[in-house]
């Protein structure tokens, strides 16, 4: 089945979902290269850095027109600025964290803004021990204030780390409050309106998949 196509950037280009997933990786490595003094790079050299084959990189870049020059390669700064503009890196996005348990606390302690254009600006929980406190510089609100704070702060993205039993209910509340994207750390596959994109992060599944490939590789030795 062909990759799902999504719209990216100010010119509303339709590109495969797999390509869109790789754009932040390109941006991050280009920034590292530029900080290291690299000003020009070929697709083969970039392939060694990001661990994608050069043909994939050239195909991804081809969706955006002529980004490089034959015999010259790519200007690192120009390419980084180009992808930064597509990824809207100049605008800092406010993110809500819903559920401040062990995983939630770990995410609060991780400073997204150091490596991306997002920051957690509000968190929500039911525990009276942390509601109305500030954790890692982020105010913790009661779940009763969820919709109001989402609207007041114009938050469009939420991270969901609540128990599975209440995940769908919270997702419904987030959607009704105007959230357009949910990063879902719960095992539940959420049912959301078409205008709300869900990105599932199942750590257990990822670990089991990794173990499967390790065991399969070992069996072939």
146 known ligand binder? no
**Residue 145 carries which DSSP code?**
G
Counts for the chain of helices (H) and strands (E), in that order: 8, 11
Residue 103 C-alpha from the chain's centroid: 17
99 known ligand binder? yes
Q: Euclidean distance between the first and final Cα of the chain, in Å?
A: 32
65 known ligand binder? no
Sort strands 181-184 and 197-200 into parallel, antiparallel or unpaired.
parallel
102 known ligand binder? yes
92 known ligand binder? no
DSSP 62-131: HTT---SBTTTBEEHHHHHHHHHHHTTTTSPEEEEEE--SHHHHHHHHS-GGGTSSEEEEEEEES-TTTT
- Give every CB contact of residue 56 below 8 A, 6+ residues apart in sequence: 22, 47
CA distance 96 to 180: 12
178 known ligand binder? no
Contact assessment for residue 164 and residue 187, using Cβ atoms and an 8 Å cutoff: yes
CA distance 112 to 200: 18
Residue list, annotated binding site for NAD(+): 99-104
Residues contributing to the annotated binding site: 99-104
């Amino acid at each position: 089945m062909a990759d799902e196509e999504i719209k990216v950037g100010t010119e509303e280009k339709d590109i495969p979902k797999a390509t869109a997933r790789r754009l932040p990786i390109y941006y991050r490595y280009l920034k590292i290269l530029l900080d290291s003094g690299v000003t020009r790079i070929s697709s083969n050299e970039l392939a060694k850095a990001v661990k994608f084959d050069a043909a994939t990189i050239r195909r991804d870049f081809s969706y955006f027109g002529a980004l490089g020059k034959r015999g010259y390669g790519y200007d690192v700064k120009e390419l980084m600025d180009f992808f930064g503009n597509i990824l809207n890196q100049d605008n800092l996005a406010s993110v809500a964290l819903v559920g401040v348990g062990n995983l939630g606390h770990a995410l609060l302690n991780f400073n997204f803004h150091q490596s991306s254009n997002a920051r957690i600006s509000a968190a929500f929980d039911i525990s009276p021990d942390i509601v109305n406190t500030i954790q890692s510089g982020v105010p913790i609100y009661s779940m009763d204030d969820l919709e109001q704070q989402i609207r007041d702060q114009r938050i469009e993205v939420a991270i969901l780390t609540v128990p599975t039993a209440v995940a769908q209910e919270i997702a419904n509340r987030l959607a009704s409050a105007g959230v357009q994207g949910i990063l879902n750390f719960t095992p539940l596959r959420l049912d959301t309106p078409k205008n709300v994109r869900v990105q599932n992060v199942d750590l257990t599944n990822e670990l089991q998949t990794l173990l499967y490939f390790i065991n399969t590789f070992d069996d072939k030795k």
